C-alpha cells in the first residue's frame, strides 16, 4: 500500500509483524465478504472473538492479558482494519478505546478483573453511551441521570447512536449523578441484561452499514454502587476516552484512503478507453498525484501523533487537528477514487464508495468536523466559540 | 519430554509482472515471506505442543539476517526457540542445493536430537521438494512425505499419518519415531500470530549457528548443480470453447475425453 515517503521502512520488527498480521487478517477475513455485509447491513459477528484472540482490542494497554504494544503499533492496526472497513475498525475502537480504556484508567480493581479479560478476548462486548437524542455535539447538556438509593443507583434516560449497543453485554453509560452536589457527570457500568434496559437497533443507516448501531433505554435501572467508575468525575471522563479513540481514527482514515488509492490506481492502469489505459490521461494522473500527496501528508500527521502519545506529550487539541484533517482528507479522496472507477465505482464490488459512505459517519462521530474546528479555534485564540 | 524440530524457510514471492535480472528476478519484484508449507508444519507442531504437556518446539532456518523476521513469525505463533544457520560463506553461493541443505540440517538434527522433525513438502520458490526426505535419509530417521493428517502417539513412539499420493490416492501408514514428516498444505488451519504472541516472540531466542558451529567449512556448500539460466516459459494458450446447448457441448466434451484416452481399459 502507498507509503510514498517510506515511513514504514522505519518501523521496528514488532511493528512490521503487527502490520503484516493485521493486513493479512483483513485480506483473508474481512475483504472477501465485507461488501455483502455492507449491503445486508450486518456485522461479521464471527470476527468478534477472532479479533479478540489476536489481541486487537486495547492492545496498547498493559496487564489483564493485554499485549501492551506501542502507540505506533496500535495506530498501524487501526489503519489496516479501516483499510478493510470502518465498521471493523469501529468495533475495535469502541471495545478498546471507549470501553476497556475507561475501565482500565478509572475502574476499581474488581471492575478491571471482572471485565478487562473478557472484553479483551471478545467473549464480552461493550458499548459507550454518551450521545443522547437531544445532546450530540454538546454532551455536557446530557439529561440521563443516576440517583443514589441506599447502596444502589437508579438510572433513567436514553442514549442513541450507540455502536454495538444491541449486541453489548455491558454499557459504559455517562450520566449526571443528581444525588451528588452539582450533579457531576459520572461513568456507570450497566450490564445490558438488567431490568429496565432496552437496546433497540437503528436500522435505516446509509453509512457504516457493516456496523451495528442502537439506542440504550434506561428505565429505573438499578445497579449496585460498585458499578460506578470510581476514578473520574466530570466531562473529562468521556472526553479522555474520545481522545484515545480519535487517535485511532486519525490513523484509520489513512487506511481507508490508502485502500481507495490502491483500488483507483489499479483500476486506472487496467481499464482501457480510447485505445489504452485511462491512467495515461493527465486528468487521471492529476487525481492520483493529488490523492497520493494528501494521503502522505495525513500519514505524517498520524505518525507524529504516535510519537507524541508514546512519550506522553500528546494534547487533545493535537488529536482534534489530526482527526479533523485526516477524516476530511479520506472523505474527499474516497470520492475522487469512486469517480475514477466510473459506473463500477458505485457497486459493492469495489471499496471506494463503501469507504466514502462510511466516512460520512466518521466525519460526524467522535466530535463532528465543525466541533473540532471550534476546539482548534479555542486553542489558537483562547476564546471558546461554543460555550 | 518431547522435542519437535520444524524447518522453515523464507521464500521469495514474485509479483504478477516482473523482470528477470541475470540469473535471478529483479529484487524490486520480490517480497519475502514464510514458505506456505512451513506455515502448516509450524501450526502442526504448535498444536501438538498445546495438546501435550511437555513438548518443546524448536524451529530452524538457513537464511540471512533478513529471514529473522520470518522465523520470528514462527516464534510468535508458538514455537519456543529458533536456530538460524548462516555465515559469510553463504553470500557467494548462488544456489544452495538439496545436498548442502541436507548436510546442514542433519547436523542440526544431530545436535538437537528431536523426536520428530516436520518440514514443508516443498519450498514455494526453488521447489526442489526433496529436503525433508533427504535429511531423514542422512540421519537415519523413518520418514513419510506429503502428510495431510497426523495423529501422534507419543507414548507408543508412533506417528499415524495419512499421505497424499498421485492421482487422488491416499495412504494410511504408521511411522516409528524418531521420524521426519513433510507436511502438506491443508493439514490444519494455520493461525495468525496474535499481538501477544508477537510481543513474546521478541524475547525468544534465535540462536545463530555458523558452518564452524556445525563442524563444517565453506566446502559444505559446494554443489555439482549450477544455475545457468533464467527465463520465462512460453505460455501457450490451448483452450477449446464448446458451443451449443448442453447436449451438444456434452457430446463434444465426451469426444475429446475419449480421444485423450479417458475411460479406455
Ligand atoms: C454510526 C454512528 C455511530 C455512533 N456511535 C456512537 C457511540 O458508540 N457512542 C456515542 O456516544 N455516540 C455515538 N455516535 C454519535 C455521534 O458522536 C454524534 O452523532 C455526534 O457527536 C454528533 O451529534 P448529533 O448527531 O446529535 O449532531 P448535532 O450535534 O445535532 O450536530 C448537527 C450539526 O450541527 C453542527 N454543530 C453543532 N454544534 C455546533 C456549533 N457549536 N457550531 C457549529 N456547528 C455546530 C454539527 O457539526 C453538525 O454538522 C455515533 C454516530 C453514528 C452516526
∠ CA A92-A95-A98, rounded to 5°: 110
CB atoms B69 and A13 under 8 Å: yes
- The structural domain count of chain A equals 3
Q: Which of A100, A102, A137, A218 to mutate to test the pocket of ligand 1 (most atoms within 8 A of CB)?
A: A137
* pLDDT in the model for residue B111: 96
Interchain CB contact of A59 with B (< 8 Å): yes
pLDDT in tens, A176-186: 999 999 999 99
Percent of chain A with pLDDT over 70: 100
Question: CA of A258: how far to CAs of A31, A292, A306, in Å?
Answer: 14, 8, 19
The question of whether A182 is a catalytic residue gets the answer no
Give buried/exposed letters for B145-164 (b at 16+ CB in 10 A, else e).
bbbbbbebebeeebbebbbb
CATH code (residue A276): 1.20.140.10
pLDDT in tens, A157-212: 999 999 999 999 999 999 999 999 999 999 999 999 999 999 999 999 999 999 99
Mean pLDDT in residue range B39-66:
95
Q: pLDDT of A250-260, one tens digit each?
A: 999 999 999 99
Does one domain contain both A119 and A131?
Answer: no
Dist CA A65 CA A63 (whole Å): 5
Report the pLDDT value the prediction gives residue A327, as an integer from 0 to 100.
98
A40 and A211 Cβ atoms separated by less than 8 Å: no
A146: cell is: 443516576
Ligand 1 centroid, distance to A366 Cα (angstroms):
8
A193 half-sphere exposure, CB direction, 13 A CA radius:
3
Model pTM score = 0.92
Q: What is the pLDDT of residue A209?
A: 98
What proportion of chain B, given as a percentage, has pLDDT over 90? 72
Going from the C-alpha of B113 to that of each of A65, A161, B178, B212, the distances in angstroms are: 34, 61, 9, 19
Averaged pLDDT, A20-28: 97
Over range A137-160, report the average pLDDT: 97
- State whether A209 and A74 are in the same domain: no
User: First CA to last CA across chain A, in angstroms?
Assistant: 43
Q: Which of A133-147, A186-200, A362-376, B122-136 has the lowest mean pLDDT?
A: B122-136
Give the pLDDT band of residue B1 (cuts 50, 70, 90): confident
Q: What is the pLDDT of residue B243?
A: 85
- Kindly report, residue by residue over B103-122, the tens digit of the pLDDT: 999 999 999 999 999 999 99
Whether the CB-CB separation of A352 and A264 falls below 8 Å is answered with yes
Task: Please report, for the domain that includes residue A186, its CATH number.
Answer: 2.40.110.10
pLDDT in tens, B62-103: 999 999 999 999 999 999 999 999 999 999 888 899 999 999
Of A125, A143, A168, the one marking the end of a domain is A125
Name the residue in chain A with its Cα closest to that of B192: A21
Would A2 be classed as within a structural domain? no
Contacts of B195 in chain A (CB under 8 A): 18, 21, 54-56, 59, 67, 69, 73, 77
- Shared domain for A241 and A227, answered yes or no, is no
| A46 interfaces chain B, CB cutoff of 8 Å | no
Asked if residue A71 and residue A48 are part of one domain, the reply reads: yes
Do A222 and A276 fall within a single domain?
no
* Phi, psi for A317 (deg, rounded to 5): -65, -30
Confidence of residue B262 (pLDDT cuts 50, 70, 90): confident
Cell, residue A138: 454538546
Is A323 part of any domain? yes
Residue nearest to atom 9 of ligand 1 (CA): A162
B229 class by beta-carbon count within 10 Å (0-12 exposed, 13-18 middle, 19+ buried): exposed
**pLDDT at position B22, please?**
87
Residues of the domain holding A83:
7-125
Q: Confidence band (pLDDT; 50, 70, 90) for A344?
A: very high
Which residue, among B23, B74, B15, has the nearest Cα to B228 in the 3D structure? B23
Average pLDDT over residues B193-216: 96
Contact A55 B73 (CB under 8 A): no
Q: Are residues A201 and A245 in the same domain?
A: no
Instruction: State which of A133, A136, A164 you would mutate to test the pocket of ligand 1, scoring each by most atoms of that ligand within 8 A of its C-beta.
Output: A136
> Using the beta-carbon criterion (under 8 Å), do A14 and B192 form an inter-chain contact?
no
CB contact under 8 A, A67 and B198: yes
Cβ contact B202:B153 at 8 Å? no
Element (H, E) at A324: helix A316-340
Chain A hits for B198, CB-CB cut-off 8 Å, are: 14, 17-18, 21, 67, 69
B123/B188 Cα distance (integer angstroms) = 18
Identify the pLDDT of residue B179: 96
Query: For chain A, what is the mean pLDDT?
Result: 97
Mean pLDDT along residues B168-188: 94
The mean pLDDT of A293-301, rounded to a whole number, is: 98
> CB-CB: which of B76, B195, B202 is closest to A59?
B195
Residue where a domain stops, chosen among A93, A108, A125? A125
A316 shares a domain with A226: no
Chain B CB within 8 Å of residue A75 CB:
no
The secondary structure of chain B as a DSSP string is -EEEEEE--EEEEE-SS--EETTEE-GGGEEEEE-HHHHHHHHHHHHHHHHSSSEEEEEEEE--GGGHHHHHHHHHTT--EEEEE--GGGGG-S---HHHHHHHHHHHHHHH--SEEEEES--TTT----HHHHHHHHHT-EEEEEEEEEEEETTTTEEEEEEE-GGG-EEEEEEESSEEEEEPTTSS-PPPPPHHHHHHHTTS-EEEE-TTTTT--GGGG--S-------PPPP--------SSHHHHHHHHHHHHHHTTTT--
pLDDT exceeds 80 at position B237 = no
Residues with CB under 6 A from ligand 1: A 94, 128-131, 136-137, 161-163, 208, 213, 361, 364-365, 368, 370-371, 374, 386
Q: In this predicted model, which residue has the larger pLDDT, A218 or B27?
A: A218
Q: What percent of chain B has pLDDT over 70?
A: 99
Q: Are A55 and A65 in the same domain?
A: yes
pLDDT digits (tens, 9 = 90+) for A69-116: 999 999 999 999 999 999 999 999 999 999 999 999 999 999 999 999
Is pLDDT of B236 > 80?
Answer: no
Which of A233, A261, A285 is the endpoint of a domain? A233
Residue A367 within any structural domain of the chain: yes
Residues of chain A positioned with their CB less than 8 A from the CB of B192: 21, 24-25, 54
Mean pLDDT for all residues in chain B: 92
Find out whether B13 and B36 touch, Cβ atoms under 8 Å. no
Q: What is the pLDDT of residue B264?
A: 67
Any idea which of A360-374, B159-173, B227-241 has the lowest mean pLDDT?
B227-241
pLDDT at A106: 98
Q: How far is A12 from chain B (nearest CA, A)?
A: 10
Is residue A386 a part of any domain in this protein? no
CA of B93 to the centre of ligand 1 (A): 63
A224 and A106 fall within a common domain: no
Q: What is the domain-level CATH number for residue A68?
A: 1.10.540.10
Q: Are residues A260 and A177 in the same domain?
A: no
Do A248 and A330 sit in the same domain of this protein?
yes
Interval B246-255 mean pLDDT? 91
Q: Is residue A1 included in any domain, yes or no?
A: no
Per-residue confidence at B265, pLDDT binned at 50, 70, 90?
low
State which ligand 1 atom lies nearest to the alpha carbon of A94: 8
| Residue A257 and residue A298 in contact, taking contact as beta carbons nearer than 8 Å | yes
Q: How far apart are CA A49 and CA B194, in angstroms?
A: 12
Identify whether residues A87 and A218 lie together within a single domain: no
For the segment B234-258, the average pLDDT, to the nearest whole number, is 86
Domains, chain B, with CATH or none = 2-221 (3.40.50.620)
Does any domain span residue A358?
Answer: yes
Cα–Cα distance for residue pair A63/A364, rounded to 1 Å: 33
- Confidence grade of residue A304 (pLDDT, cut at 50, 70, 90): very high
> Does A387 map to a domain?
no
Could you tell me which residues are beta bridge partners of residue B20? B25
Residues B198, A18: C-beta atoms closer than 8 Å: yes
Amino acid at each position: 500500500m502507498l507509503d510514498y515517503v517510506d515511513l514504514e521502512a522505519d518501523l521496528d520488527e514488532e511493528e512490521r509483524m503487527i502490520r503484516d498480521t493485521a493486513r493479512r487478517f483483513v485480506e483473508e477475513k474481512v475483504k472477501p465478504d465485507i461488501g455483502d455485509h455492507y449491503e445486508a447491513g450486518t456485522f461479521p459477528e464471527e470476527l468478534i472473538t477472532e479479533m479478540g484472540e489476536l489481541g486487537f482490542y486495547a492492545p496498547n494497554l498493559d496487564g489483564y492479558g493485554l499485549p501492551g504494544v506501542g502507540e505506533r503499533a496500535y495506530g498501524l492496526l487501526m489503519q489496516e482494519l479501516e483499510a478493510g472497513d470502518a465498521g471493523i475498525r469501529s468495533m475495535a475502537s469502541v471495545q478498546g478505546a471507549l470501553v476497556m480504556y475507561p475501565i482500565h484508567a478509572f475502574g476499581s480493581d474488581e471492575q478491571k478483573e471482572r471485565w478487562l479479560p473478557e472484553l479483551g478476548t471478545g467473549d464480552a462486548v461493550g458499548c459507550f453511551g454518551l450521545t443522547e437524542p437531544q445532546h450530540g455535539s454538546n454532551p455536557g447538556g446530557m439529561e440521563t441521570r443516576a440517583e443514589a438509593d441506599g447502596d444502589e443507583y437508579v438510572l433513567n434516560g436514553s442514549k442513541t447512536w450507540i455502536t454495538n449497543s444491541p449486541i453489548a453485554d455491558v454499557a459504559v453509560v455517562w450520566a449526571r449523578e443528581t444525588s451528588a452536589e452539582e450533579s457531576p457527570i459520572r461513568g456507570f457500568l450497566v450490564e445490558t441484561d438488567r431490568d429496565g434496559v432496552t437496546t433497540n437497533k437503528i436500522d435505516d443507516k446509509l453509512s457504516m452499514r457493516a456496523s451495528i448501531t442502537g439506542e440504550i433505554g434506561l428505565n429505573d435501572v438499578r445497579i449496585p454502587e460498585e458499578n460506578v467508575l470510581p476514578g473520574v468525575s466530570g466531562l473529562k471522563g468521556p472526553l479522555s476516552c474520545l481522545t484515545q479513540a480519535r487517535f485511532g481514527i486519525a490513523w484509520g482514515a489513512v487506511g481507508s484512503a490508502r485502500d481507495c488509492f490502491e483500488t483507483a490506481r489499479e483500476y486506472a492502469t487496467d481499464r482501457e478507453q480510447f485505445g489504452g489505459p485511462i491512467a495515461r490521461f493527465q486528468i487521471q494522473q492529476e487525481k492520483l498525484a493529488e490523492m497520493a500527496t494528501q494521503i502522505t501528508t495525513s500519514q505524517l500527521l498520524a505518525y507524529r501523533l504516535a510519537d507524541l502519545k508514546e512519550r506522553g506529550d500528546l494534547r487533545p487539541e493535537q488529536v482534534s487537528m489530526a482527526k479533523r484533517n485526516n477524516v476530511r482528507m479520506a472523505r474527499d479522496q474516497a470520492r475522487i477514487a469512486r469517480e475514477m472507477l466510473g459506473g463500477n465505482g458505485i457497486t459493492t464490488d469495489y471499496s471506494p464508495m463503501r469507504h466514502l459512505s462510511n466516512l460520512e459517519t466518521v466525519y460526524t462521530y467522535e466530535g463532528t468536523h465543525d466541533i473540532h474546528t471550534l476546539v482548534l479555534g479555542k486553542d489558537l485564540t483562547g476564546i471558546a466559540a461554543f460555550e | 519430554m518431547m522435542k519437535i524440530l520444524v524447518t522453515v524457510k523464507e521464500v521469495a514471492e514474485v509479483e504478477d509482472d516482473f523482470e528477470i535480472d541475470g540469473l535471478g528476478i529483479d529484487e524490486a519484484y520480490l517480497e519475502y515471506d514464510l514458505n506456505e508449507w512451513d506455515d502448516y508444519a509450524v501450526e502442526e507442531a504448535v498444536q501438538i505442543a498445546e495438546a501435550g504437556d511437555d513438548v518443546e518446539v524448536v524451529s530452524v532456518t538457513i537464511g540471512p539476517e533478513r529471514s529473522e523476521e520470518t522465523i520470528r513469525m514462527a516464534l510468535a505463533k508458538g514455537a519456543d526457540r529458533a536456530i538460524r544457520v548462516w555465515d559469510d560463506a553463504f553470500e557467494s553461493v548462488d544456489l544452495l542445493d538439496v545436498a548442502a541443505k541436507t548436510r546442514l540440517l542433519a547436523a542440526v538434527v544431530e545436535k538437537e536430537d528431536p523426536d520428530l522433525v516436520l518440514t514443508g513438502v516443498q519450498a514455494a520458490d526453488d521447489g526442489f521438494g526433496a529436503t525433508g526426505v533427504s535429511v531423514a535419509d542422512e540421519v537415519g530417521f523413518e520418514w513419510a512425505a506429503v502428510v495431510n493428517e497426523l495423529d501422534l502417539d507419543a507414548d507408543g513412539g508412533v506417528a499415524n499419518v495419512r499421505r497424499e499420493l498421485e492421482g487422488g490416492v491416499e495412504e494410511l501408514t504408521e511411522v516409528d519415531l524418531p521420524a521426519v514428516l513433510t507436511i502438506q498444505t491443508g493439514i490444519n488451519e494455520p493461525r495468525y500470530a496474535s499481538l501477544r504472541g508477537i510481543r513474546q516472540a521478541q524475547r525468544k531466542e534465535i540462536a545463530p549457528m555458523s558452518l564452524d558451529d556445525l563442524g563444517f567449512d565453506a566446502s559444505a556448500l559446494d554443489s555439482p548443480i549450477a544455475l545457468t539460466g533464467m527465463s520465462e516459459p512460453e505460455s501457450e494458450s490451448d483452450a477449446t470453447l464448446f458451443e451449443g446447448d448442453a447436449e451438444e457441448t456434452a457430446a463434444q466434451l465426451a469426444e475429446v475425453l475419449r480421444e485423450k484416452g479417458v475411460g479406455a481399459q
